[in-house]
Amino acid sequence: MSITKRLDQDFVQAMKARHEVELSVLRMLRSALKNRQIELMHELSDEEALAVVRSQLKQLKDGLASFEAGKREDLAAQARAEIAVLERYLPAQLPPAEVEKVVRQALAEAGISAKAAMGKAMGVAMKAVAGQADGTAVKAAVEAILS
């Protein structure tokens, strides 16, 4: 089932169950997906929809960091709940050891071994994990391998 169809089903269920936090997050996500669809002028593929979900998730995580730094636990708790809803739409994440293994193999195939090629290494590594790990985990693995 595509992400957008699953999102629509979950949206209806959240409305019926009156889950306010989930409903709010799903409305935000549907709006972001619709805006992206308008930008691209075609129906979104699952990969394009996942990119929108990741973007929304990154925004929420950035906000969470700000709330925690500002000692606003009430807003931080709400952000955590919203993050949990969005994470259900992402594919299963690889454990750190597996991320490092995949990144190490990708860098070896690309012939990258110097820290000076960090930008190129990140591009190769992100393509290798194909959305199964977030950027911070991949960056940590690349830095560990190249150092």
Give pLDDT, residue 37.
Answer: 94
The answer to whether the CB of 122 falls within 8 A of the CB of 139 is yes
Residue with tokens 């690889």: 94
CA 121, 125, 126, 128: dihedral to nearest 10 degrees? Answer: 140
Considering the chain, tell me which residue range(s) the CATH 1.10.10 domain(s) occupy: 96-146
Query: Which CATH code fits 3-87?
Result: 1.10.1510.10
- Any idea which fold 96-146 has? Arc Repressor Mutant, subunit A (1.10.10)
- Listed in order, the ranges of the chain carrying CATH 1.10.1510.10 are 3-87
Model pLDDT for residues 39-98, shown as the tens digit of each residue? 999 999 988 998 899 899 999 999 999 999 999 999 999 999 999 999 998 888 888 888
- Residue pair 119/138 in contact (Cβ under 8 Å)? The answer is no
| pLDDT, tens digit (0-9, with 9 covering 90-100), for 102-145 | 888 888 888 887 788 888 888 888 888 877 887 888 888 888 88
pTM for the whole thing? 0.75
Picking from 41, 37, 82, the residue whose alpha carbon sits closest to that of residue 64 is 82
